[in-house]
Structure 1
Amino acid sequence: MKKKLLSALLLSSALLAAGCGGDEEEAHVDEEGCEHLQEGPAAAVTAAVSGTGPAVSNDHKRYDIALVDVAGGKGGAVSFAVSEATDYVLYMSAPVPVTVTNGSGATVEIEESATSSSLCTDIKGRHVVPLTVGTHTLTFGPSTLSSVSLVIEESGEHDHDH
């Protein structure tokens, strides 16, 4: 009950502050990302030193990614098969650098990055990335950390044409 009340309060305050139609959607996405970072369910994967790596998804799971030795520290790659072209939010438990490449190997520009969320102190990395249908590679590092948790959510109906 407390969680629902808190969600309602957060959502209504986001609605009041909304200057752009997508702000309330963004708050909801952050709540989802935070909830899965905190509570899972979790799946453990080990990043690959090279290539596309093991698969992760936007399936309401937290992926606890073991980072491996790479040039400059710890890092590695995982793959994400996109079934719908839209913006995705990568929520991370630590400020580990991440690069996204498409199936052709071209880097996908991250639209927006933050190292926190006002809704959730567990979010230490929040990256909005426009992805097309196909398999993308998320490459982490180099970092001094040996692991990072990742939750992927669709960003919602926010329109960037304004």
Structure 2
Amino acid sequence: MNKKLLAALLMSTALLATACGDDDEEEENVDVEGCEHLQEGPAAPVTATLTDTPPHVDNDHRRWDITLVDGTGGKTGSVRFAADEATDYVIYTSADVALSITNASGAEVEIEESTKSSTQCTEIKGRHVVPMTVGTHILTFGPTTASSVSIVIEEAAHDHEH
């Protein structure tokens, strides 16, 4: 094989490997960001609702402190999130509460991966990776005995800019 062609091929392969990054490293970086915002905010209070028009939350480097309301089986409630990009989002919660997600047409969105902790900080009590399409999604918490839950939403392939 031509030495120049081989060198070009090896360089291209190295660049691709570097550009793609390590999945574990990306996951850790997103968790660091999630921890930072769960711990330090900034925070915005919002009260979940059982009605058709829940309050809006965003993935804007903010902790959303959600007050849950009385519902069937305990405290519950919904908020809405408008995904502006079709990608995986990570929803971090400060409490171990049930989470279900529906899209704008009311169809359930499957949570790809859920854990109850992170090696990055103890504040993470729920870590849910959710593939979302562009559009509005309803996040429903509970039922639970907890009267509130704080959440942070990050893109799984987050660019880490503040």
User: Number of paired residues?
Assistant: 138
Distance 2:76 2:69 in 1: 5
Distance 2:72 2:53 in 1: 17
Gaps of 5+ in 2: 1-20
Distance 2:42 2:102 in 1: 26
Distance 1:40 1:51 in 2: 28
Partner deviation per Cα, 1:10-51 (whole Å, 9 max, x = no partner)? xxxxxxxxxx83111100000000000000000000001132
SS at match of 2:52: coil
Tell me the residue number matched to 2:25: 24
Change (3 A) 1:100 1:52: farther
Gaps of 5+ in 1: 1-19, 158-162
Residue identity opposite 1:76 in structure 2: G
Residue identity opposite 1:88 in structure 2: Y
SS at match of 1:109: coil
Distance 1:112 1:52 in 2: 27
Runs of 4+ more than 3 Å apart: none
Distance 2:50 2:135 in 1: 21
User: What does 1:1-162 align with in structure 2 at a 5 Å threshold?
Assistant: 21-156=22-157
Residue identity opposite 2:103 in structure 1: N
Contact 1:93 1:125 in 2 (8 A): yes
**Aligned-CA RMSD value:** 1.1
Residue identity opposite 1:74 in structure 2: K
SS at match of 2:54: coil
Distance 1:139 1:79 in 2: 9
Measure how far apart 1:52 and its partner are. Answer: 3.9
Which entry has the higher C-alpha Rg, 1 or 2?
2
Residue identity opposite 2:86 in structure 1: A
